[in-house]
Amino acid sequence: MTAIATPPSATPPSAAPTRVRPARSGVLVQVWVLTGRALRQLHDPRLILLSLLQPLIMLVLFSQVFRSIADSPGFPSGANYIDYLLPAILVTTGTQAAIWSGAGLATDLSNGALARFRTLPISMTSLLVARNLFDLVRNAIQLIVLTVAAAVLFGYAPAGGIPGTTLALLLGLAVATGLSWVFIALASWVRKVELMQMVGFIVIFPLMFASSAFVPITGLPPWLRVIATINPLTYAIDAARGWAMADPTSGATVSTLLIAAGLTVGAALIASRGVRRP
């Protein structure tokens, strides 16, 4: 009997088809694409307007309600209240914007958006970095508009000029970045928008008002003066105000940057671990 030869091109029936897994792109490419996707939200003018409304209202109210403090003892001599106030507003606006980072991540976790991203060959850490960068850009727009509004509407013209104000703005962004990672880490474990917002307001507002933001520490009650002295936000505000008013304090500046860097690294590690939970 003659054996029938199998054609070379025939596939053995037992061979299973090979599944080709999509290649994972680099982390930098992922962060770039995801950040660009998030920044497309800024094309909506309503989002820009609403994000600017609250800090502008705070600037107008506080600059008018507390301006008589410029005549009180302990206030820097020769300084206008708006020059004293705006660096603090730059820092406190950054801290309030940090709550949005956590709330945005909690929303993505609760509505299933991140569950869909898990099916793609991307790193969850890239999503967190993109979220932080998006909020950083949005916060920078806020702070620039606030500075321009203070100069046009209230005559903001500190002794430090544009260089000093720029450094104050950068310090506000540094604080915002560190706190943004803190709230992202919290959201990665809590995963509830309402709870995130409640925790944010409970933490941020006492820090904001129990500080040197709106009045000199010497004008506070003794018990509140103690809290303001150890408040980390006071160091950031004093550092930003010092650069803007041409009286920089190296100790406050270094402390602010170290605290912001520590918060960023520690919270980023916690967030990267928390977001991987099913």
**Residue at token pair 């820090």:** 207
Q: How far apart are CA 166 and CA 37, in angstroms?
A: 28
Looking at residue 109, its pLDDT comes to 77
Structure tokens of 64? 């008018």
Looking at residue 6, its pLDDT comes to 46
Looking at residue 25, its pLDDT comes to 63
Looking at residue 115, its pLDDT comes to 67
> Which residues are within 8 A (CB) of 257 and not within 5 positions of it... i.e. 6 or more apart?
171, 174
Q: How many CB atoms lie within 10 A of CB 227?
A: 17
Looking at residue 165, its pLDDT comes to 94
Looking at residue 218, its pLDDT comes to 84
Looking at residue 256, its pLDDT comes to 92
Determine phi and psi for 74, rounding to 5 degrees: 95, -10
Residue (of 59, 237, 215) closest to 147 by Cα position: 59
Looking at residue 258, its pLDDT comes to 94
Q: How far apart are CA 14 and CA 36, in angstroms?
A: 46
The series of mean pLDDT values per 10 residues for the chain, 278 residues long, is 48 47 64 80 74 84 84 78 92 86 80 70 81 88 91 91 94 92 88 81 86 87 90 92 90 92 93 79
DSSP string, 10-39: PPPTTPPPPPPPPPPPPHHHHHHHHHHHHH
Per the CB < 8 A criterion, the answer to whether 237 and 174 are in contact is no
CA dihedral over 85, 87, 90, 95, signed as positive or negative: negative
Per the CB < 8 A criterion, the answer to whether 105 and 179 are in contact is no
DSSP string, 162-205: HHHHHHHHHHHHHHHHHHHHHHHHHHHHH--HHHHHHHHHHHHH
CA dihedral over 65, 67, 68, 73, signed as positive or negative: positive
Per the CB < 8 A criterion, the answer to whether 125 and 272 are in contact is yes
Looking at residue 242, its pLDDT comes to 93
Looking at residue 44, its pLDDT comes to 72
pTM of the model: 0.82
Looking at residue 262, its pLDDT comes to 94
